[in-house]
Structure 1
């Protein structure tokens, strides 16, 4: 399987090439030259597979340059009960007889769904770098959960350094503590004066400097990394099969989303043949995606418009993975995508309302809803009272929106994105008690913090990286 750029159909190589490279040289994202599909009979064969075997079946058609035995071993190392808490890896829990289900994705090391893909990336990076006798410096941006998931996945990886940007003062105390309490020689936490989108733009600016990127071996683990999208597609298959539906019966999925990576993985699963009926995007007050799916116009929000909310991991005004979706809506017309993103770069909206592409969007199975702080509190309280289940504010966004789109007789699977312990302040406001947390995180907010403050400036960031890695460039 070969990969191309969403913007120029530029050949990008194989899976391991795009795994380490981040953005394409033309600024686009990696996409496979084709999407492999499963027949109805093949889906039935997958139904009873354990998670590791299911992951292999879903992922290997897109990974032609890792031998079968090696890929199976990487997946065995990744998806273990001792890492994710159970043999199921992603348990499915019914919320009473409501027809709503929680797909539990947050039982990994950092207590967020990002672990599902990031743990695989950690092992895959190590494998490829050892094979090629290389080192890589990961440059990433986080709105809260990607950072800790990436850092936990890369701890102790001798050939990997992590430079993680986060918006100063815009994560929960727990999220900050998870990252900043790490005092490891290969982890560099950077607090940026700005919002998440500023952090994301800095990552793109550094990647756009081809000489600097090559000199310092810059790679990426953000949701733009195709390896993450591919690994996340697996749990849609697992969640669907856990419903034990008749062959071909549909299930809907509701996904809290700001960067569009998690829900795009669901669309990939749908394109591969999984009977996903509708994919519902749940937004908070930062409703860029809701605006698009409701009205056909994608307009990036400026930093000053992005609100600070109680579901902070979705405080995003620019959905990085949305480009992949529009690429498919344009029938892989990379030239069209390049034109759209020229409009985005100029601060203008992408308006599809009068185009054939809007018809493709409307036929894609997507819908969207949004919620507020008051909605989150009420939903956390109600789910706790009615079902004895405590959920975090992002998952509450998903449950609220999922309920509003529930179709009679069709299961609605709501993706749990984090454990409530990560957002204790909001959960406490909703239910009046502290959420439980694993013992290893006791008192984490009081531990010493290790991070560097930087301005929202690409040159300052490059100077920081060069200073820390200067000896590598000799």
Structure 2
């Protein structure tokens, strides 16, 4: 398995062979500013699906990831994956959840035996150390980085940006890892108090928190600018853990397979090739991009339901064909803050497939985006191809979130977080009777206590290990929006 850039930089004879998985794991962003993807997606057959159906999460993760990783020997990769996905690591969530399931499916409305009603379910993805779905990929990344760096005798300085959950997931996965330092940018005072505390209360020597006086998009732009300074990147060995890193997306593909098997087993589940719909709260497009890739591999996904909050850039594209990233001043601060994003980094990967994997088209489209503009595919043949990829979309507001949280708690006895509420609201609207609707959980409600109290008049429960986390001493450096300031912090910390 070899990889290429969405913008066309694929090393040829003069530069050496196309990069391997381990090479792009450490590189993050491609040299031309594009994102890495496999040269072709590995295909899974109906026979593969039947063989994989009964596997544990760790076994399934190995089966899927080994299709993307061929430069780590199976004798090393298999135990690495096995020690990543354990009940001990994913046992920090709800007391009523079987940790051994890793990602249990919770039916809200079961499909009926005659398949007249597809059913509605939530796939629990938030039982990891930081109570967010990002743990599903980030714990693997921590182990992959440590393994590859040890083999190469190298170190890496990870530079990332977070809108809320990536930061803590990355830091908990990388803390104490040999050869790894983390520099994590976050929008100053624009995350929940719990999210800030999870990150800033870490005092490990290899963890550096930087709060940027701006929005997530400003922080993300800084990460890309530093990564595109090739001399600085090479000198300070800069890598990435944001979903611009292909390994993050590849790891997230696994739980679509696991969710599919859970939704199509048992009474009312239907045949092995039955279509399933997934509703995904979407800000940076990484989570739903993994679903797109699972579908391209052959997983029978009938619909990918993209749910946005008030920052509806992606919904606008799927409705109109216009991709118009917003400026910081136009980006709303909402009660689902991890989706307060107006420049979706992973969207480039999907558009690359949409335009027939033509890097010249991507370079033209993103030249406009990178210059602060937009693009319009509505009058092109590409827009006509959108239905072939199974995407539909919708939006959710603060009032919708409150109503969905109340309804879910009163009807099903389940407390959900604000982002999952966005997914459930839009997924419920776009349900169809012929296929189950699986909503991907984003985080546990404890991370967004203020809004849960507003919706339900009560505090969400927390794992004992995270009670009172806001009272712990915090360590963070606050800066203006400045690429140079971040470079100086990196230089100072490494000197």
- Alignment partners' CA distance in 1, 2:249 and 2:149: 20
Determine whether 1:219 maps to 2:204: no
Q: 1:152 aligns with which of 153, 166, 172?
A: 172
Match of 2:381 in 1: 356
SS for the counterpart of 1:61 is coil
Match of 2:14 in 1: none
Q: 2:143 aligns with which of 100, 123, 128?
A: 123
Q: 2:37 aligns with which of 31, 35, 53?
A: 31
For 1:194-209, list aligned pairs within 5 A.
Answer: 194-209=214-229
Q: Deviations over 1:173-216 (max 9, x none)?
A: 00000000011100000000110000000000000111110110
- Alignment partners' CA distance in 1, 2:393 and 2:295: 17
Q: 1:74 aligns with which of 70, 80, 89?
A: 80
Q: Deviations over 1:128-180 (max 9, x none)?
A: 00000000000000000000000000011121000000000100000000000
- Alignment partners' CA distance in 2, 1:50 and 1:97: 23
Match of 1:254 in 2: 279
In the superposition, the TM-score normalised over structure 2's length comes to 0.94
- Alignment partners' CA distance in 1, 2:449 and 2:372: 37
Match of 1:268 in 2: 293
Q: Is the 8 A contact 2:9 2:30 kept in 1?
A: no
Q: Is the 8 A contact 2:277 2:437 kept in 1?
A: yes
SS for the counterpart of 2:492 is helix
Determine whether 1:367 maps to 2:387: no
SS for the counterpart of 1:158 is coil
Determine whether 1:87 maps to 2:100: yes
Match of 2:486 in 1: 461
Between Structure 1 and Structure 2, how many residues are aligned?
A: 470
- Alignment partners' CA distance in 2, 1:168 and 1:9: 35
Deviation at 1:53, TM superposition (A): 1.2
Gaps of 5+ in 1: none
- Alignment partners' CA distance in 2, 1:96 and 1:345: 44
- Alignment partners' CA distance in 1, 2:408 and 2:33: 42
Match of 2:49 in 1: 43
SS for the counterpart of 1:62 is coil
Match of 1:52 in 2: 58
- Alignment partners' CA distance in 2, 1:268 and 1:346: 28
Deviation at 1:43, TM superposition (A): 1.1
For 1:367-406, list aligned pairs within 5 A.
Answer: 367-406=392-431
- Alignment partners' CA distance in 2, 1:81 and 1:69: 22
Gaps of 5+ in 2: 12-17, 92-98, 112-118
Q: Is the 8 A contact 2:9 2:32 kept in 1?
A: no
Deviation at 1:75, TM superposition (A): 0.4
- Alignment partners' CA distance in 2, 1:95 and 1:135: 46
Determine whether 1:184 maps to 2:204: yes
Match of 2:190 in 1: 170
- Alignment partners' CA distance in 2, 1:84 and 1:240: 20
In the superposition, the TM-score normalised over structure 1's length comes to 0.98
- Alignment partners' CA distance in 2, 1:96 and 1:406: 12
- Alignment partners' CA distance in 1, 2:475 and 2:370: 34
Runs of 4 or more consecutive aligned structure 1 residues displaced over 3 Å after TM superposition: none
Match of 1:107 in 2: 127
Match of 1:283 in 2: 308
Deviation at 1:410, TM superposition (A): 1.2
Q: Deviations over 1:373-410 (max 9, x none)?
A: 01000100000000000000000000000000000131
Q: Which moved more, 1:5-14 or 1:395-404?
A: 5-14
SS for the counterpart of 2:101 is coil
Over the residues paired in the alignment, what is the CA RMSD in angstroms? 0.9
